[in-house]
Structures are given as structure tokens and as C-alpha cells.
Amino acid sequence: MRTALLQSSGRPGDTGANIAVIDAAAARAARAGAELIAAPEMFLTGYAIGDAVPRLAEPADGPSAEALSAVAARHGIAIAYGYPESDGGHTYNSARLIGADGAPLANYRKTHLYGDFERTHFTPGDTPVVQARLGSLTVGLLICYDVEFPENTRAHALAGTDLLLVPTALMHPYRFVAESLVPVRAFENQMYVAYVNRTGTEGEFAFTGLTLLAGPDGVVAARAGEGEEILLAEVDPRLPAASRETNPYLQDRRPGLYGALAESALAEPARAAARTA
């Protein structure tokens, strides 16, 4: 499946303009034969929007979602994008996947919030694995900081994710995440990881770019530079299963050992509190 990764920061604070950016990029990607286009974290509104977060947040099925469903159907291409989601008095840093016919497929809420800005404005999600079927692929969603926790990608691997979409807002000086960590995540879980970053400077944040698609063999199939770009790359639906046969990390796991480690880690703070009481 040909996949397009939109590396851009759009126009922060202008949802309509950012929908237009996705529309134009989707048209271009579809003409190039892509079946899916993915945009970065918080693409609909911009990332560094401060106290405008609650004002610009929308329900998962809000007007922007309706507009992008129409874009997907018009161009015949699936769309994944990041946005601030409002629901029940809470605001989430979310990512949504729409099918090529405009139907909603999945909505994910970022589970691991990064930094003071996110912790001030967002509520963390509590569903670690969100998936949808896209053609012959099982597609999963994480957002930025989530992928830096190995437990998240392993949970997706165990649930059968073939292609993990990660809208992101990776900043300097952490370019090693895109350069080294993401390909390792793909290799250790035998899945594709599409890491789709913002670019340029936005408020106090300077984004690294370096959008990439890493394969189940850990090889980076395509990587962007630091400027705006639509990166096209091929996802072979046969490769994750073949890689899991060759590299048996998943079948060689010993979960009984890891459960004990997790219990020990959870118990240590309680023991420390008891010692100081």
C-alpha cells in the first residue's frame, strides 16, 4: 500500500487553512497512487496554541471531521490526522483515521502526555491499543511521546498491528528519537512505523522534521528532511508476518517473568513510603 506522510505545521490557529492543506496534499498523494495520507500531531489547529486549545477543540465527529470525511471520499484516500478532541468536559490530544470512503475508522487519545503544555491542557487517554482494518493491513494509532514507551508498541504488536501510525511533534534536541528509536521500535515488534512530524518553529518549539517510514526489518524505507514535504513510501502487507517468522521476538517472550518485574516496580513506592512513615 502506497502511503503518504505529510510533514508540515500548516497554519497554527487556523483550522480551515489546515483542512485546505490536507485537501491539497490528499489530492496530490492520490494522484501519485497513495491509498493513505497521514498528517502530524495536532495538525488541525497547530501544536503551540496555548490557551486556545479548548476553544479550537472539537468532538471526534465535529465539523472538521465531517469536512475531512468529504475530502477523503472526494479523493478516494484514507486520512489520519491529529487534533484536539473535546468530550464530556475533557480535552484530549487525539488522532483520527478516516477511510477512503469517508467513513470513520478509529479515534485514539494520547495516553502519555509530554511536558507542562500538554499536562495543563489535556486529559490523558486510557485506551492503549486502538486499531482499524485498512485494506489488508491492521492499522494502529499512537501519538508522539507514546511511541517512546516500549510497552505501547509491544501491545500493538501482540494485538496484530501491521502499520503503526504515529502523528508527532518531535522537537529539538530530540532528533535521535526519529533517527534511532523509531526504527528500533519497528524492528523489535516486526511492524511498520510511520512517524509523521511537524516542521519549523512554532512558538517556543522548534520541530525536527525527519518524518520516516521504518519497516519490520528496522530499515528506514523513506525519510524526509527538515522542511515541508510529502513523503511517499510503500507498505508491503506481507512483510510483517514474514518478519515475525524470521525474527521470533514475539513467540520467544516469557510474560511470566515480566509480570513479576511489573509487580515489583509497582510495589517499590509503597515500600519506600512505609520506610519513611
Domain boundaries defined on the chain? 2-247
Mean pLDDT over 182-201 rounds to 97
C-alpha grid cell, residue 90: 475533557
Q: Could you give the count of Cα atoms lying within 13 Å of 205 in the half-sphere of its Cβ?
A: 24
Q: What is the tens place of the pLDDT at every residue in 15-60?
A: 999 999 999 999 999 999 999 999 999 999 999 999 999 999 999 9
Task: Give pLDDT, residue 259.
Answer: 77
Mean pLDDT over 138-150 rounds to 97
Task: Give pLDDT, residue 263.
Answer: 65
Which of the four pLDDT bands, split at 50, 70 and 90, describes residue 267? low
Task: Give pLDDT, residue 203.
Answer: 87
The residue written with cell numbers 484536539 in the block is: 84
pLDDT over 70, % of the chain: 94
The CATH H-level (homologous superfamily) assignment of domain 2-247 is Carbon-nitrogen hydrolase (3.60.110.10)
Is the model's pLDDT at 274 over the cut of 90? no
CA–CA distance, 3 with 193 (Å, rounded to integer)? 11
Residues classed as catalytic: 41, 110, 144
- Give whole-number Cα distances, 272 to 23, 211, 265, in Å: 54, 42, 11
Q: What is the pTM of this model?
A: 0.93
Contact of 185 with 155, CB cutoff 8 Å: no
Is the model's pLDDT at 69 over the cut of 60? yes
Amino acid residing at 129 = V
For 24-28, 82-86, 224-228, 263-267, which range has the lowest pLDDT when averaged over its residues?
263-267
SS3 state of residue 132: strand
Task: Give pLDDT, residue 264.
Answer: 59
Contact of 138 with 161, CB cutoff 8 Å: yes
Which of the four pLDDT bands, split at 50, 70 and 90, describes residue 159? very high
Q: Could you give the count of Cα atoms lying within 13 Å of 258 in the half-sphere of its Cβ?
A: 7
Task: Give pLDDT, residue 47.
Answer: 96
CA–CA distance, 160 with 121 (Å, rounded to integer)? 32
**Length in residues, the chain:** 277
| Closest listed residue to residue 109, CA positions, set 121, 122, 133, 92 | 92
SS3 state of residue 267: helix
Task: Give pLDDT, residue 15.
Answer: 97
Which of the four pLDDT bands, split at 50, 70 and 90, describes residue 258? confident
The alpha-helical segments, DSSP class H, found in the chain are 15-31, 53-56, 63-75, 115-121, 150-158, 176, 182-189, 239-246, 249-252, 255-276
Mean pLDDT over 255-266 rounds to 72
